[in-house]
Homo-oligomer: A and B are copies of this chain.
Amino acid sequence: MDQRPRLDDVAARVGVSTASVSLVLRGAPGPSAETRRRVLEAAAELGYRADRTASMLARRRRHLLGVMLDIRSAFHAELVEEIQAEADRIGYEVVLSTLTRHRDENRAVETLLDFRCEALLLLGPDAADRRLAALAAQVPVVSIGRRVAVGDVDVVRSADHVGVSQALDHLIGFGHRRIAFVDGGRGVVAAARRRGYRDGMRRAGLADEIRIVPGDHTEEGGIRAGRLLTAAHDRPSAVVASNDRCAVGLMDAFLRAGLDVPGQISVIGYDDSTLARLAHIDLTTVNQDPAAQARHAVLAAVQRLDEGREQRMEVVLNPRLIVRGSTAGA
């Protein structure tokens, strides 16, 4: 519980200057093989580890990426895992700042800024485009999963309308025509998916069948939508949900109403969350490759920081449909 060892302590023990120790510990050229050996030995004996806050201050560079996320989101969890991995690989540290019931996006971002993160990765930010643009004027910002129309914000997202189109094509290929859509609520992402549904149906000549049921991004929302659809006299033969949790709620409602999935009604989700992969859920869904998104996002930040990129960049990945057991012929 005493003071942890400092650079001085290691230096004193070896009998060299702190400069030498610092160089050795960071693998910088200069020190002789013999010095290296002795320093490393002493450092190990003392259990020395550099104080990151001090290093950050002394270096011009901080090598810190700030990530804003919603800790309750399983999708964000997947992204964070990959962001961490990628950051590790290229020698950046990651600071996590989560939204909570008592902590909004502003607070979360401020925390990140106070730590002087060199760049911000925002997972599905909800702030207005202008606010994001203003932020981006201070520090490189990359928005993941959410399009930003104005300002110098980098964007990494998947083409939501394409994903929904693929889902529709799959169902139409099975002969479905009455295909409903369960909405994901307000928010830029949900809007894109909704648009994808509308456009897709029109293109397929099914404009008359367009039917959008309100929903959100919880199982609860799915349940409610499911009840609505079950009760209707003109029940659809297939439903596309704006996200997996909603789809799971839907399936549950159908199951309880005695409707067989996919026998009597097909269901498609969106996100390919771990949920969807569970054997008993076995949901056909759209995968947006979080690993790839994470990689691109980290890359975007690093390009700004280390390679002097100045121009806005937008990476749009193509999602792909994962066909599982919740869809079948009409």
Give the interface of A toward B (CB within 8 A). Answer: 1, 4, 49-54, 56-57, 62, 71-72, 74, 77, 80-81, 84-85, 88, 93, 95-98, 100-103, 110-111, 113-116, 137-140, 218-220, 223, 249, 252-253, 255-256, 274, 278-281
Contacts and interface: CB of A to CB of B under 8 A. Distances in A.
A220 B53 contact: no
A190 to B, nearest CB: 20
Nearest to A50: B114
Stoichiometry, as copies per complex, reads 2
A304 to B, nearest CB: 9
A43 to B, nearest CB: 14
Contacts of A140: 1
A80 B274 CA distance: 21
Nearest to A278: B219
Given A85-B100, A85-B103, 16 more contacts: A49-B110, A53-B116, A54-B57, A72-B77, A80-B98, A80-B100, A81-B100, A81-B101, A84-B98, A85-B102, A93-B111, A219-B278, A220-B279, A249-B278, A255-B255, A256-B280
Contacts of A85: 100-103
B77 A115 contact: no
Contacts of A93: 111
Nearest to A67: B96
A36 B51 CA distance: 34
11 contacts: A49-B113, A51-B114, A53-B53, A53-B57, A57-B57, A81-B100, A85-B100, A93-B111, A220-B278, A220-B279, A249-B280
B52 A114 contact: yes
Given A52-B115, A115-B53, A223 B84 contact: no
A50 B113 CA distance: 9
A49 to B, nearest CB: 6
Given A81-B71, A84-B100, A102-B85, A223 B138 contact: no
Contacts of A54: 57
